[in-house]
Each structure stands twice: as structure tokens, then as C-alpha cells.
């Protein structure tokens, strides 16, 4: 059983899908709670169908069944499945901190080798602070090409930041296997707050929690990118067995890091 299957097995049976919003950049699903995911789809000219099975019949579907769409080879279905999965995750065992993942990458990576798997707006702000910054960013349907490009770089990394969107193209587990020595951060709206990630070597989970659904949906449904969405909190949880620095807001002095404001 792989990482994604393990997470799905922990999800509760019973809750039903109440709302589904499949939008340009993000997907929102309501079942036990609200769950988000990035929204990807296969090229329209591709050989595989890009549409979602049971479209128009998703409301009322058992949420765990929809979460199993995360295993689909169709990118849009897998995106939807991750949002459904995140809507079922029990986060009661986590202590969240409001620390931007980019600041953790900066703090941990200053003067070291940093690998970023994914496309994030804060990348240019890291280059002057780290020894080496290697970025691997591919189209979602080029997952295996991205893994091949990242493999040797991750083996050399002191810090690795991996997008939670790697769950959508099913590359997460392989990517994590290539960086056993790196301090590893998984980030982005698709990232599930599951302690099973810690078992696979993740040190920090940085994802999204919907605090104001009405406000968040207004942005999501009008084509906002994740960075533009209001009503969503960026939440971070640490693996307490591996963290060795007492992270708190004092570590990120606003004057000291003013140049990095916005990351």
C-alpha cells in the first residue's frame, strides 16, 4: 500500500458530499469540512478523457468514494479527489502555527543547498540567501520527467520543498524517497494534513484551512489563484519528533525580514 492509499484508509466512512466547486485554479469540496486542492486537467488534445466521471451526480456521493478519485490517472479527477480527501481529514491532533512555508525554507536553507519541486512565487527571493537553489517545475502531465530531473538534486539537498500538487500526478512518494537526508517541507493547498506524511520523511506540512467559506468561494469561483483567495488561512504543522528549533513568530523578526515581506 502506498502513501496516498494509506491516507485514504484513515478517512471516515459515512460523510456525504454537500458542495463541489471545480474552478479554474482551485477546487473546493464540502463534506465533513471544507477541503481544497489545486485544479489540474489533462490537455484537451490528449488521448485520455479529461472529464470527471459522475459529473452532475457528485452531490450526495459518499465523500470517501470521491476521495478515491485522487488515485485516478485523469488529472482533473485526481485534483477533485484530493479536495474531497482534504474535506475528510481530521486535523484535531495538530497544533497549527501561522508561519509562511517560504520563511521556513529561507530560515532552514540560508547558506545551504535548497531544492524546490513546484512553481512558487517566492523563489526569486531565496536566490541571494542560499548556497544553491535548484528548481524543478514541470507541467502536471510531465510528472515522471520531473521526478527524473529532481532525483539527483534531491539527493544533494539540505532543504527540500515539495508541492502538494505532486499528489495529483502521483509523484509524491517517489520524490520523498529521494531526499532522506533533507529537511523536507510539503506545501500548497492540495497538501493533506495527515500524520502519515511524517512517516514518509516530511518534517513540515504547510497547507490551507478554509475559515470563511462564503468569502473564499467568491474568489475561487471568480478565477482567483490561490495567493489571491481570501477567507483561507495558511496553516503549518511540524513533525514534533524531528523539529529541533522552537518555531515561533519571534524567529521571523519583522524588521530583520522586511526585505522578504510577502513570501
Q: Is the pLDDT of residue 115 over 70?
A: yes
| Cα–Cα distance measured from residue 49 to residue 143, given in angstroms and rounded to the nearest whole number | 18
Domain at 3-88: CATH architecture = 2-Layer Sandwich (3.30)
Average pLDDT over residues 17-33: 97
Q: What is the pLDDT of residues 55-112, one digit of tens each?
A: 999 999 999 999 999 999 999 999 999 999 999 999 988 989 888 888 899 999 999 9
Q: Which residue ranges make up each domain of the chain?
A: 3-88, 101-260
Model confidence pLDDT, tens digit, residues 36-60: 999 998 877 666 677 899 999 999 9
> CB–CB of 126/105 below 8 Å?
yes
Beta 159-163 vs 132-136: how paired, if at all? unpaired
Q: What is the pLDDT of residues 201-253, one digit of tens each?
A: 999 999 999 999 999 999 999 999 999 999 999 999 999 877 554 444 323 33
Domain at 101-260: CATH code = 3.40.50.11590
Model-wide pTM > 0.85: yes
**CB count, 10 Å around CB of 129?**
17
- Out of 18-27, 100-109, 251-260, the most confident range is 18-27
How is the chain classified by DSSP, letter by letter?
--HHHHHHHTSPSS-B--EEEE-SSEEEEESSSEEEEE-----TTSSS--SPTTTT--TTSBHHHHHGGGG-SSHHHHHHHHHHHHHH---TT---B---HHHHHHHHHBTSEEEEES--TTGGGTTTTBSEEEEE---GGGHHHHHHHHHHHHHT-SEEEEEGGGGTTT-HHHHHHT-TTSEEEEESTT----THHHHTT--EEEEEEES-HHHHHHHHHTT--GGG--SEEEEEEE-TTT--S---GGGS-TTTTGGGTT-
Sign of CA dihedral 147, 73, 12, 26: positive
Q: What is the pLDDT of residue 253?
A: 31
Q: Is the pLDDT of residue 24 over 90?
A: yes
pLDDT at 256: 34
The CA-based dihedral angle spanning residues 168, 169, 171, 172, taken in that order and rounded to the nearest 10 degrees: -10
The answer to whether the CB of 162 falls within 8 A of the CB of 175 is: yes
Q: Give the model's pLDDT for residue 260.
A: 33
- The pLDDT score that the predictor gives to residue 184 is 97
Amino acid at each position: 500500500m502506498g502513501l496516498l492509499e494509506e491516507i485514504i484508509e484513515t478517512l471516515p466512512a459515512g460523510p456525504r458530499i454537500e458542495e463541489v466547486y471545480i474552478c479554474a485554479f482551485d477546487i473546493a469540496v464540502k463534506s465533513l469540512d471544507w477541503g481544497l486542492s489545486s485544479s489540474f486537467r489533462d490537455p484537451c488534445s490528449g488521448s485520455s478523457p479529461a472529464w470527471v466521471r459522475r459529473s452532475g451526480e457528485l452531490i450526495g456521493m459518499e465523500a470517501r468514494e470521491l476521495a478515491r478519485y485522487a488515485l485516478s490517472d485523469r488529472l482533473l479527477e485526481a485534483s477533485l479527489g484530493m479536495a474531497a480527501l482534504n474535506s475528510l481529514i481530521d486535523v484535531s491532533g495538530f497544533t497549527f502555527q501561522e508561519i509562511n512555508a517560504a520563511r521556513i525554507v529561507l530560515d532552514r536553507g540560508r547558506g545551504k543547498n535548497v531544492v524546490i519541486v513546484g512553481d512558487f512565487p517566492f523563489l526569486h527571493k531565496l536566490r541571494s540567501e542560499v548556497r544553491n537553489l535548484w528548481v524543478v517545475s514541470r507541467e502536471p502531465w510531465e510528472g515522471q520527467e520531473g521526478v527524473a530531473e529532481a532525483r539527483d538534486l534531491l539527493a544533494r539537498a539540505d532543504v527540500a520543498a515539495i508541492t502538494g500538487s505532486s499528489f495529483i500526478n502521483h509523484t509524491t512518494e517517489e520524490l520523498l524517497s529521494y531526499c532522506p537526508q533533507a529537511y523536507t517541507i510539503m506545501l500548497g493547498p492540495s497538501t493533506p494534513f495527515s500524520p502519515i506524511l511524517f512517516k514518509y520523511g516530511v518534517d513540515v506540512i504547510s497547507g490551507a484551512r478554509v475559515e470563511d467559506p462564503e468569502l473564499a468561494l467568491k474568489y475561487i469561483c471568480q478565477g482567483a489563484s490561490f495567493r489571491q483567495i481570501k477567507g483561507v488561512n495558511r496553516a503549518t504543522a511540524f513533525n514534533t519528533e524531528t523539529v529541533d528549533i522552537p518555531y515561533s513568530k519571534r524567529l521571523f523578526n519583522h524588521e530583520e525580514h522586511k526585505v522578504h515581506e510577502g513570501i
